[in-house]
Amino acid sequence: MTRQWTTCFAAVLLVAIAGVGTAQPESIEELRARAEQGDADAQSSLGLAYATGRGVSQDAAEAVRWFRLAADQGNPSGQQNLGFAYAIGRGVPQDDAEAARWYRLAANQGEALAQYNLGFAYATGRGVPQDDAEAVRWYRLAGDQGNPSGQLNLGLMYATGRGVPQDYVQAYMWLSLSASRSSGEARDRAVNNRDITYERLTPDQRAEAQRLAREWDEAHPR
């Protein structure tokens, strides 16, 4: 029996928090002080702290409050995460159209995760008219920035011929790139889809797809 590709990923929250991974991580008190002074990056990061319960008690409504303060200043991560809150109804009433509106504001500023989430909205018709070609466009913008979810779903669009002509070589390239940038269950899904695609390639196509993935990787250092 021929194996089939698994489904696309859903919307994703931006989970980076300011100060994490630095030599001297910023304390919640320092982050709050900057946020209260109107620093949009700090407001967005404080919202993430409340959304994830890192350093504070988890509080979805408080997360949304800080996301909105950042988003209203044009901060793309605040806009992306406010959109995500609306998408899943966490801290605000669930509203796909409002989610897509905030994703678009962030995506137009080049926020890769918002580009991916807006692509997913178009692929599924959540908050926007269903449009595979638009989904591909936003997935590609995210994937070109190295976003593994965007690469995965772009690969699946090529594999199934949604929004683009079916092209197993392109599908393999994007799925391979996604697998190399993912971890855990996300990597397992990318690897599974990549391997399913590999089975459909001729030897010459396999060589071409691997070459394209390698050249893309070399041109986009991490």
Domain 1-113 sits in CATH at 1.25.40.10
The amino acid present at 89, given as its one-letter code, is G
Mind listing the pLDDT tens digit for each residue in 43-52?
999 999 999 9
Is a pLDDT exceeding 90 seen at residue 222? Answer: no
Is a pLDDT exceeding 90 seen at residue 13? Answer: no
Mind listing the pLDDT tens digit for each residue in 130-170?
999 999 999 999 999 999 999 999 999 999 999 999 999 99
As to burial, measured by CB atoms within 10 angstroms (0-12 exposed, 13-18 middle, 19+ buried), residue 167 is middle
Q: Which residues does 217 contact at the CB level (< 8 Å), separation at least 6?
A: 177, 180
Domain ranges of the chain: 1-113, 131-222
The CA distance from 117 to 109, in Å, is: 14
Q: Which of 3-12, 29-38, 84-93, 154-163 has the lowest mean pLDDT?
A: 3-12
Is a pLDDT exceeding 60 seen at residue 12? Answer: no
Q: What is the pTM of this model?
A: 0.91
Q: Which residues does 76 contact at the CB level (< 8 Å), separation at least 6?
A: 105, 106, 109, 110, 111, 114
Determine contact, residues 99/68, Cβ cutoff 8 Å: no
Mind listing the pLDDT tens digit for each residue in 82-111?
999 999 999 999 999 999 999 999 999 999
